[in-house]
Structures are given as structure tokens and as C-alpha cells.
Amino acid sequence: MWRADADAARSDGPATAAASYAGTDFHEWWEERHRVVRSSVETVPFEELEGWKFEEGTENLVHESGAFFTVQGMRIRTEDRGSWSQPVINQPEIGILGMLVKEFDGVPHYLVQAKVEPGNLNGLQLSPTVQATRSNFTRVHGGAGTRYLEYFRGGRRGEALVDVLQSEQGSWFWHKRNRNMVVRVTDEVPLHEDFRWVSSHQLHGLLTEPHLVNMDTRTVLACSAYTGPPRGDHGDDPYADALARSYDATAGARLHTRGEILSWFTDMRTRCGWRTELIPLSDVKGWSRSREAIEDDERRRFRIIGVRVKADNREVRQWTQPLLAPTTTALAAFLTKPVDGVLHLLVRARPEPGVLDTVEMGPTVQCVPETDGGAHEPFYEDVARAGAQRVRFDTTLSEEGGRFYHARTRYLIVEADEDFPVEVPDDHRWMAVHQLTDLLRHKHYVNIEARSLLACLHSLR
């Protein structure tokens, strides 16, 4: 196994390899991109969306080409949380989130991109090398070709270190998955000005800056985690030492075997009696449509809106599209606890209506505090009221700006109190980090919020 992070962590310093391969300091490059790439986004009424219409009969919001995505309805019947219907983004195509990785002087670097997305609250965020729907790369929109796509598709030139389908937000998407890829190259790669090689160590460090590293980059980083941690010298920091040991399948004890974890997950899936189905948007109850928005009558969930975008560095320079705008900031948190010197994460098996097989493993706490107050989250108080010295990571990051408008999640990694129990409710399990990241080789075990947190966790190594 190729140990990207191990090498990177050792070698990367102030006079970084990243700098030497891009010619400037990262932040200088980033500021420069902000100056050069002009973009603007304005909300517009639905009638100004070009090529989009409300389909007769269903009232679904569709593109006239049949491509991209549609906004339609989803109905959910549960045994434990009532039944409801809501709008949902249906995008059955599988896109690519692909990262090129290459060693410079023995230090692995990722090729990242300064990319404008219409829903980004700050215009530019840091994207993977390729972030493209099938509509993008088959050019339904009639724009320019996707840069670097040839490394991931068809005449691929590198070795795929990561290649797995992973789900995205199950409250907002219907069965959405993207193909998460890391492809290693050894040849010279022509560098476009919107792109830059960044060392693994530096990229993880950038996760502590609000709204900089985008969701797609985070999920790809999480999926490459099984390449392993540094077994570094953490003698002075017991937390960092326990974290390093948690990536190492051979270090210390585990609370549960792999077989026990898989059996638990099978049980959780089997017990969940949620039934979900796609329905016409016209059949959704408790939501209404105005000229500017589709929103729930209680204004607690989200709005579907229209935007007009102008950007200099996208395949198409000007376009309009719908976006989903959440009402407020979400929260996703892992409680952590060392067990026998190995850091464990408290994972929860979570039903989410839009996820293909309904149940995936998610964070300890995942909720929207302002609207649901953590009602279904047994450990909400442990996370929300943790003392500062127990909070290991606390940064607010953006969700996918291509579909969501200013969608923010506060990501927290919190050390549990020392007397926090090892015994937890049925739908929770303590797992070592490698036990969770091993499952990322396979589709649909770990949800998008937990994957973002795993990427954030790597920044603590």
C-alpha cells in the first residue's frame, strides 16, 4: 500500500514541495485566483431559468434536455418517525470526483482546482482535479471539455488507488452517488492556471480554514485514508498517539471485531422499516411554490430557488439553474474515546430517506440544531456542551456548491468525557478509525457527513 500521508507528513515544511512545484506560496496563489476569476451569482425567479420548466402534470422541475437533474418529490413512511413528503434532487447519473496524485521529490501531492460553484458562499473553493457529472463530460451543456478527464476515464494513464461509489446527502438527494477516484501518475502533467499541486499534509491542514476545501475534495480524501497513517513520534501527545494507533490494524485492542461490526450493520439495516419512493412534486404535502421558491410551510427545511451564474473559468461562462438552499447551518460531530490506547469513534447507523439502501454509518451526532434541536440525537448535549479543551476540531465547511446554495455544516471532533460509557445504544458502535476507513473501499457503508469528518480527523495527525 502506498503511504501518501506518511511521506507527506514527514517531508512537508515551510519551504514546501508544493510551493516549488507551483512557483508560489499556496495562499498567494489562492489570492491571485480570487482576483483573476470573476464570478457572480444572483437569485432569479423560476421563470428566468433558461431551459428549465415545471413539467405538466407532475410539476417536477426539469431541464428540457432531460439531462442534469430534476427536482421532484420523495415520500417516506417510517415506523418510528412518522411519515412525510418533501422535494428532492433526483440525479441518477454517476459523476466522477477524481484526484490526480503524483510524487515530487518523494512527497505525494494532489492536483487541486480553484473552482467556482454557484452555491459557494465565497465563490471559489478547492475542488478535486475532476469534479464532473456525466452531463458535464458528455457535454450536454455544449461547453468546453473537462480538464484532466482523460486520466480517469477511457484511456486512463495511472493506477487507481481509490475507485468506489459513495453516496451524498440523503436528506436532499435521491440515490445520488459519485465515483470517488484517486489516480496516481508518474509522467509530466500539463498544469492549467486554475490547478495546483498541494501536498497531502498541506491539503489536510487547509481543512481547518472555513469554506476552503470543498465537499468533493473531502470525500475523496476520506476514501484514500486506508493508505494508512504515519506511525510517528507522538509520545508527547497521548491523543495524537491514540489517533495514530487507531489507523493501524495491528496496534492495540478493538472493542468489536470486523465480523461483529458487519453483523451489527446488517441488523441495523434489517430492522429499519422505512419505505421511500419518488413521487411527483405536485404530490408533496406541506410545501408550496411561489415565483421565487419552493419551500415548506414551516420554513424549517430548505428552499428550492433559481440562480443566474457568471464565471470566467467554467466550461460554460453563463448559465442559470435551480439550487437547494438549506434554512440554517447543520452540525456533524464524532465523539472520540481512547480504548486501550487506540482512539475509537462513536458511529451511528443512520436511516436517511434518499440513500440507496436507506441505512449507512454516520457521525455520532448529525442534525440541524436550530430547527430540530438534536431531538433524535442521544449524544447531542455531549457534543454541544463540550469544554473547549475537549474540542479537537471545529470548523464550518460548505456542502456541494453545484447543487446547494450556501449549505454549511459545522464539523466537530470532540473527546468524550473520561467517564463516558463504552456501552452505547443499539444503533451506535465504537470503532477504531481503520475499521471505518477499511469499509470505505466498498460502496455505501459510510455517509457523506462521516466521510467529511474522517478527512478532518486526518488533519489532526
Q: Which residues bind its own copies (CB under 8 A)?
A: 92, 94, 160-161, 163-165, 179, 259-260, 262-263, 266-267, 269-270, 275, 356-357, 441-443
Residue 173: CA atoms inside 13 Å, Cβ hemisphere, count? 23
Is the CB of residue 274 less than 8 Å from the CB of residue 268?
no
Q: What is the total residue count of the chain?
A: 461
Pairing, β 302-311 against β 294-296: antiparallel
Least separation in angstroms between CB 277 and its own copies: 8
Which one, 149 or 356, has the nearer CB to its own copies? Answer: 356
Least separation in angstroms between CB 112 and its own copies: 22
Count the neighbouring beta carbons within 10 Å of the beta carbon of residue 105: 9
Which one, 177 or 458, has the nearer CB to its own copies? Answer: 177
DSSP letter at 375 equals T
Is the CB of residue 28 less than 8 Å from the CB of residue 16?
no
Residue 229: CA atoms inside 13 Å, Cβ hemisphere, count? 28
Chain centroid offset of residue 459 CA: 15
Among candidate residues 190, 274, 257, 269, the one with its CA nearest the CA of residue 434: 257
The residue type of 371 is: T
Least separation in angstroms between CB 306 and its own copies: 27
Least separation in angstroms between CB 442 and its own copies: 5
Phi and psi torsions of 112, nearest 5°: -105, 165
Is the CB of residue 121 less than 8 Å from the CB of residue 204?
no
CA 118, CA 327: separation in Å to the nearest integer? 17
Pairing, β 330-339 against β 408-415: parallel
DSSP 140-183: TT--PPPTTGGGTSSS--SEEEEEEEEE--TTTEES-EEEEEEE
Which one, 40 or 266, has the nearer CB to its own copies? Answer: 266
Which one, 358 or 364, has the nearer CB to its own copies? Answer: 358
CA 152, CA 410: separation in Å to the nearest integer? 32
Is the CB of residue 263 less than 8 Å from the CB of residue 40?
no
CA 62, CA 55: separation in Å to the nearest integer? 7
- The radius of gyration computed from the CA coordinates of the chain, to the nearest angstrom, equals 22
Which one, 120 or 178, has the nearer CB to its own copies? Answer: 178
Least separation in angstroms between CB 214 and its own copies: 22
Least separation in angstroms between CB 416 and its own copies: 28
Which one, 192 or 441, has the nearer CB to its own copies? Answer: 441
Which one, 189 or 356, has the nearer CB to its own copies? Answer: 356
Which one, 234 or 443, has the nearer CB to its own copies? Answer: 443
Least separation in angstroms between CB 264 and its own copies: 9
Furthest CA-CA distance within the chain: 66
Least separation in angstroms between CB 130 and its own copies: 14
Which one, 38 or 442, has the nearer CB to its own copies? Answer: 442
Least separation in angstroms between CB 438 and its own copies: 11
Least separation in angstroms between CB 87 and its own copies: 19
Which one, 164 or 331, has the nearer CB to its own copies? Answer: 164
Least separation in angstroms between CB 165 and its own copies: 6
Count the neighbouring beta carbons within 10 Å of the beta carbon of residue 45: 12
Least separation in angstroms between CB 257 and its own copies: 10
Which one, 185 or 331, has the nearer CB to its own copies? Answer: 185
Which one, 147 or 175, has the nearer CB to its own copies? Answer: 175
Chain centroid offset of residue 363 CA: 13
**Looking at the DSSP assignment, which residues form a beta bridge with residue 343?**
338
Cβ partners under 8 Å of residue 372, min gap 6: none
Is the CB of residue 339 less than 8 Å from the CB of residue 430?
yes
